[in-house]
Amino acid sequence: MISGRVSANREAIISVIVHNPEGEAHEVEAIIDTGFDGSLSLPPDAIANLKLPWRRRGQALLADGSTTVFDIYDVVLDWDGKLRRVAVDEANTAPLVGMELLNGFALRLEVRPGGAVTIQQLS
């Protein structure tokens, strides 16, 4: 099970352990974004600090109807006690966990500042 908390701004936040190509573990606090269909997004400075390998370019349709082009990188992360290789979308936002990473898991939120966030694998 993965645990987190609801912030004062009512954002569901969890800590994610990501590994750079040398295998070093780094903790990243990420906001759960159910409107994001990818796995994980990180800002450019975090991607550069981790020295993540570039995979390809991607394109997304934004809520305002515009499209954006972005770079996609590879990362290995700890997810519910297992190492997973996932795509990381580069975005000028706070780190985000998306629905692709949550696929096959139940998400429970106590929506109040300091409330519990739990993510548990479905059977």
- What is the mean predicted confidence (pLDDT) over 18-39? 94
| pLDDT at residue 66, as a whole number | 87
Is the pTM of the predicted complex or chain greater than 0.85? Answer: yes
In this prediction, residue 6 carries a pLDDT of 98
Q: How do residues 52-92 score in pLDDT, each as one tens digit? A: 999 999 988 777 888 889 999 999 999 999 999 999 999 99
Token pair of 1 as six digits: 């099970």
What is the CB neighbour count within 10 angstroms for residue 85? 10
Element (H, E) at 45: helix 44-50
80 bridge partner residues: none
Domains in the chain, CATH or no CATH each: 2-121 (2.40.70.10)
The confidence score (pLDDT) of residue 112 equals 96
Average pLDDT value for residue range 5-29 = 96
Averaged over 102-123, what is the pLDDT? 96
Q: What is the pLDDT of residue 62?
A: 75
Q: Which of 117, 79, 108 is CA-nearest to residue 3?
A: 117
On whether the CB atoms of residues 113 and 7 are closer than 8 A, the answer is yes
Tell me whether residue 112 is exposed, middle or buried, using C-beta atoms within 10 angstroms of its C-beta: 0 to 12, 13 to 18, 19 or more: exposed
